Amino acid sequence: MKKILKAGQHVVGMDIGGTKMMAAVFDSDFNIVGVCKKKSKTKSRERSEDRIVKIIETAIEAAGSPKISGIGVGSPGPLDPDTGVIIDTPNLGWKNFPLAEMLRKRFGVPVVVDNDVNVGTYGEWCFGEISGCRHVVGIFPGTGIRGAVLIDKHLIRGSREVAGEIGHMTVEVGGPFCGCGKRGCLEAVASRIAISKEIAALAIREDAPFILEKCGTDLATIRSGVIAEAVAKGEKKVEDVVRRAAYYIGIAAGNLINILSPEVVVVGGGLVTAMPDLFMKEIRRGVADHAMPFLRKNVRILPATLGDNATVMGAAHMIATRIKSAPLKRKARAR
């Protein structure tokens, strides 16, 4: 990898999730030299400000308190990557939260904030198996489904700075209700919540005894890990639900291959981590059935390889690149 940071320089990569937060300090070779991970917990903005700052401080201490040259953050959106303002994050209770400005004031360094899936895909692209590809589609099915698109090695943002809402591609016209208010979105058919919903219905009909015993019929408790366990225990109808969801992600991936002709589609997130073989097999089947033969030829459909570290690594690389490209214009550009 080309050297971006000067010897001795350090940057922080931060991953803000709806359920957990993680900060990591990187040396100039992008080795992690200090880390701090905590539950997100609080829903008040003031307390989450303090919590974020504390997590970063703890990671810096764990790294032996080096001088920090910048902070990169991946956060749920929608957000404005130009200003680093989080527009709306229901899970964290943030509205128009100037995250970049807050961190810049607290730490006195340049800060870059981008959407978590953009940052995660970028991390995979910088450090993972897809490193160096020109055209990449990233799909991250979790509680919701978001995606990211790299064209000619650049993340696309579109006119509203928020391109990549792959989860809201309509895959079933008039289909199930989606959190966005529409119907039949990929997210309404294939997200963890969509899967849990079907599995809870199986449980209440006593068609998924393992789930019923472990989780009852509460959607909130039917998470990726327990779903994977049920599949491993031979709960056939649970497996069918997972297969169908993954197949639909394959349909969406096929659509994206037809439209964008990427070299690689990378799929990450909790569901894929919990059931990589089953999930990737069905995604590939969905692609095979729905991408044009001459377009899908040689396209690799890969699971993400960096796991939980993708976002902190992508965020660190983003701020490092920013510092390098505009050392004299820090304040203007790296807001």
Q: How far is the CB of 247 from its own copies (least distance, A)?
A: 9
Instruction: Find the distance separating the first CA and the last CA of the chain, reported in whole Å.
Output: 26
CB closer to its own copies, 41 vs 182: 182
Q: Among 51, 192, 290, 322, which residue interacts with its own copies (rule: CB under 8 A)?
A: 290
DSSP-derived pairing of the beta strands 136-141 and 300-303 = unpaired
Told to check if 234 binds its own copies by CB under 8 A, we report no
Our finding on whether 302 is near its own copies (CB under 8 A) is no
Measured N-to-C along each axis, helices 236-260 and 192-204 cross at an angle, to the nearest 10 degrees, of: 160
Length of the chain in terms of residues written: 335
Shortest separation between residue 135's beta carbon and its own copies, angstroms: 5
Q: Is the CB of residue 29 less than 8 Å from the CB of residue 19?
A: no
List, in order, residues 6 or more apart from 2 with CB less than 8 Å away.
none
Q: How far is the CB of 263 from its own copies (least distance, A)?
A: 4
Q: How far apart are CA 45 and CA 30, in angstroms?
A: 31
Q: By rule CB under 8 A, what string of x and - marks binding of each residue 102-141 to its own copies? A: --------------------------------xx------
Q: How far is the CB of 130 from its own copies (least distance, A)?
A: 12
Residue in 35, 45, 38, 46 with CA at minimum distance from that of residue 19: 38
The answer to the question of residue 78 lying near its own copies (CB under 8 A) is: yes
Q: Which of 63, 171, 267, 320 binds its own copies (CB under 8 A)?
A: 171
Nearest distance, CB of residue 210 and its own copies, angstroms? 29
Q: With helix as H, strand as E and coil as C, how does 109-160 read? A: CCEEEEEHHHHHHHHHHHHCCCCCCCCEEEEEECCCEEEEEEECCEECCCCC
Per the DSSP assignment, residues forming a β-bridge with 36 are 23
* Residues contacting its own copies: total by CB under 8 A: 47
CA dist., res. 156 & res. 311, Å (int): 17
| Residue 289 contacts its own copies per CB under 8 A | yes
3-state secondary structure of 303: strand
Q: Verify binding: residue 292, its own copies, rule CB under 8 A.
A: yes
Side chain identity, residue 97: F
Which span sits near its own copies by CB under 8 A: 66-74, 106-114, 170-178, 274-282? 170-178
With contacts defined by CB under 8 A, name the span among 101-109, 290-298, 301-309, 324-332 that binds its own copies. 290-298
The yes or no reply on residue 256 touching its own copies (CB under 8 A) is yes
Residues in contact with its own copies by CB under 8 A are 78, 134-135, 147, 149, 151-152, 156-166, 168-173, 180-182, 248, 251, 254-256, 258-263, 289-290, 292-295, 297-299
